[in-house]
């Protein structure tokens, strides 16, 4: 009996230690602003909270998927500096980076609506933007010299999810239903890669 235990324990240990979990590829979701930096606001609605809610829903919905791991640059109402965000991103070496934001124009209420996507000067960034635009609805895509795009070594895009000072956009991006739909579209996009 003791000999059996002596043989079984090492075999079990070898089998257990040789098991390697499947390495998931990483996608970083950057919820813009945070902490004292509210971003765009309208009455009680703030960009920092809207994008954090959507980023958290993306991570939650994606948890049941096996292809990618979603890592957030912030998961609470903190403000990692832009340099801290890109340092974290570059240390993770992700497949892609998606920075979430909300737009606003100077006037109190605007007729401008929908999303916009800003990209790096790279084919990979443009390709990601094209695919996201097809998921969320066609929009303008343009290069912009923004820290998160310029300093991220991985392909990155910045997505403006709607205008906080447009009544319909605001209702959609602040509602549970709208946020869940947006998050679901991003996860669908990940799974199509």
3-state secondary structure the chain: CHHHHHHHHHHHHHHHHHCCCCCCEEEEEEECCECCECCCEECCEEHHHHHHHHHHHHHHHHCCCCCEEEEECCCCCCCCCHHHHHHHHHHHCCCEEEEEEEECCCCCCCCCCCCEEEECCCHHHHHHHHHHHHHHCCCEEEECCCHHHHHCCCCEEEEEEEECCCHHHHHHHHCHHHHHHHHHHHHHHHHCC
Q: What is the pLDDT at residue 18?
A: 45
Distance CA 143, CA 146 (A): 9
Distance CA 125, CA 99 (A): 12
Q: What is the pLDDT at residue 8?
A: 53
Q: What is the pLDDT at residue 19?
A: 47
Give me the tens of pLDDT residue by residue for the chain, a chain 193 residues long: 555 555 555 544 444 444 444 678 999 999 999 999 999 999 999 999 999 999 999 999 999 888 999 999 999 999 999 999 999 999 999 999 999 999 999 999 999 999 999 999 999 999 999 999 999 999 999 999 999 999 999 999 999 999 999 999 999 999 999 999 999 999 999 999 9
Q: What's the Cα-to-Cα distance from 145 to each of 91, 107, 131, 186, rounded to whole Å?
A: 21, 25, 21, 24
Q: Are 158 and 104 in contact (CB under 8 A)?
A: no
Crossing angle (nearest 10°) for helices 47-62 and 167-174 = 40
State the greatest distance between any 2 C-alpha atoms of the chain, in Å, as a whole number.
82
Q: What is the pLDDT at residue 20?
A: 44
The answer, as to whether pTM is greater than 0.75, is yes
Q: What is the pLDDT at residue 65?
A: 85
Q: What angle do CA 173, 153, 118 make, to 5 degrees?
A: 35
Q: Give 70's strand partners.
A: 27
Q: What is the pLDDT at residue 24?
A: 86
Instruction: Name the class of domain 22-191.
Output: alpha beta
Q: Are 142 and 118 in contact (CB under 8 A)?
A: yes
């Amino acid at each position: 009996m003791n000999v059996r235990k002596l043989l079984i324990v090492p075999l079990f240990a070898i089998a257990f230690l040789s098991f390697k979990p499947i390495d998931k590829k990483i996608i970083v979701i950057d919820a813009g602003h945070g902490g004292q930096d509210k971003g765009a606001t309208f009455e009680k609605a703030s960009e920092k909270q809207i994008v954090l809610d959507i980023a958290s829903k993306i991570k939650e919905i994606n948890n049941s998927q096996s292809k990618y791991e979603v890592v957030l640059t912030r998961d609470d109402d903190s403000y990692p500096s832009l340099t801290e965000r890109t340092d974290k991103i570059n240390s993770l070496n992700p497949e892609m980076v998606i920075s979430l934001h909300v737009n606003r124009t100077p006037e109190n209420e605007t007729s401008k609506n929908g999303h916009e996507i800003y990209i790096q000067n790279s084919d990979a960034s443009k390709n990601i933007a094209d695919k996201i635009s097809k998921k969320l609805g066609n929009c303008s895509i343009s290069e912009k010299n923004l820290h998160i795009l310029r300093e991220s070594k991985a392909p990155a895009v910045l997505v403006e999810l709607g205008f906080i000072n447009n009544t319909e956009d605001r209702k959609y991006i602040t509602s549970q239903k709208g946020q869940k739909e947006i998050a679901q579209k991003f996860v669908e996009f990940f799974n199509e890669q």
